Structure formats: structure tokens, C-alpha cells
Amino acid sequence: MSINRREAVYGAASLALAPLLWPAAARAEVVDLVELMKPSPLGDIPMGAADAPVTIVEYSSMTCNHCAGYKLKTFPKIKERYIDTGKVRYILREFPLDPLAAGASMLTRCAGNDKYYPMIVSLYEQYDKWVVQKPLPALFAIAKQAGFTQESFDKCLSNQELLNGLEEVRKRGAEKFNVRSTPTFFINGERLVGAQPLAEFEQRIEKYLKA
């Protein structure tokens, strides 16, 4: 049976993500902020003021429905109240839990920095259309809205270097910061696990703003 390039990239992702071994160490509540802020091999795509007093780092998987719910319901309020007002700098790092999540993240990276976050939102908004048994047609339809052609779509999903970079981001999150599930957040290095309600984020953010 022949495998085309688009199918092959998911096979490659399966191999890359197979050794998903979690550290045995107990989970710390606060991680080293200097270490956390080192850019990933692919480079971070931050949102918000560089001198904001609070930095939030989110580890997220594109096929995580809790991540989708957070991004569509809670995140817009955080952006309005804290990111757009210069109080929070926000960084999203990919933590693909499966090959399909890796493929979707590859597309968001290939879209370019200016379309990175908008495409993430578009993918989450249409989550039920592409998190299916045959995702490629729906993924391409979404990607076309971000300016992809069939050629650029295929080229992106065949980019082994990009796939390897995403795996390095995931691996570092697991090994250095003991990320075990998505979404996982670090608010000035303080861990917050799960799609928590807005009030929980506000409490943590305001604590650092007052300090």
C-alpha cells in the first residue's frame, strides 16, 4: 500500500511522539522563570508588551478539547483585560499529544507570525470538523482561509525539520517543567493546570500586579 507525503508526515509524527515518557519527579508548584523564558528551538511568538510585569506561558495541544474551550471562552477576556492593556505578555508553546495535533501545529507555524494566533483560534472554532478520522480535507479548507495553496499545505505537512522542532518543544516542556497534560500554564513561573475559570487566572495575575 502506498503512502503519500501528507500521510507520511503523520507517520513521522507518530514515531516522534511515541516515547512520551513523563518525569518521575514530583510536580513543583513554581519553575525556574529564567529557564522557562528561554525560547524554544522554533522561537516563541509572544503576544503583548515585552515589559509587561506578568508573563503567562501556555503549553497546549491542538486536539485538546479543554484547550479549545479555554481559548474560545476564557482567553478572550484575559486578552482584553490584561494583554491588550500591557499587563501580561503571553506565550503559547506547542505540546502535541498526538500526530494530528502535531500536523495542525505545523500549519499554524507555516501560516506566519501574524496569522499564528488567528489560525489557532480558527482551528479551535472548527474543532469538530477536522478532529475526525479523515482530517486533511477539513484542515486544508481552514488553511485556505489563511492563504495556503494545496502546494504550500503539502509542503508544510512534509517539513520534517518543523516536526522535529515541535517535538523538541514538547520534550523540553515534559522534561524541564514536568508538563503532564494540556493546557498547562505558568504565570510568572507558577504552575496552573487545566482550563481553569477566569477568576482563577485573575487571582494569580492580580497577585503579581500588586507585588
Does the pLDDT of residue 5 top 70, yes or no? Answer: no
Residue 6 pLDDT > 80:
no
Residue ranges per structural domain of the chain: 5-210
- Model pLDDT, residue 40: 84
What would the mean pLDDT of 27-46 be, rounded to a whole number?
Answer: 88
Q: What is the pLDDT of residue 26?
A: 39
pLDDT for res 70 = 97
Give the pLDDT score at 122.
97
- 55-71 pLDDT tens trace: 999 999 999 999 999 99
The predicted-structure confidence for 85-134, as pLDDT tens digits, reads as follows 999 999 999 999 999 999 999 999 999 999 999 999 999 999 999 999 99
What does the pLDDT look like over 8-35, one tens digit per residue?
344 444 434 433 333 333 344 899 999 9
Query: For the chain, what is the mean pLDDT?
Result: 89
The 190-193 sheet, strands edge to edge: 88-94, 54-60, 184-187, 190-193
Q: For residue 3, what pLDDT is reported?
A: 28
| Mean pLDDT to the nearest integer, 141-158 | 97
Instruction: Spell out where the chain has E strands.
Output: 54-60, 88-94, 184-187, 190-193
- Predicted confidence at residue 8, as pLDDT, reads 39
Q: In angstroms, rounded to a whole number, what is the distance separating the alpha carbons of residues 110 and 127?
A: 19
Cell numbers at residue 155, please? 509542503
Percent over 90 (pLDDT), the chain? 84
Distance CA 47, CA 209 (A): 18
Residue 10 is predicted with a pLDDT of 47
Output DSSP code: residue 39. Answer: P
The residue to which cell 488567528 is assigned: 118
Q: What is the pLDDT of residue 133?
A: 95
Instruction: Report strand pairing: 54-60 vs 88-94.
Output: parallel
Query: 5-210 belongs to which CATH class?
Result: alpha beta
The three-class DSSP label of residue 146 is coil
Cβ proximity of 40 and 168 under 8 Å: yes
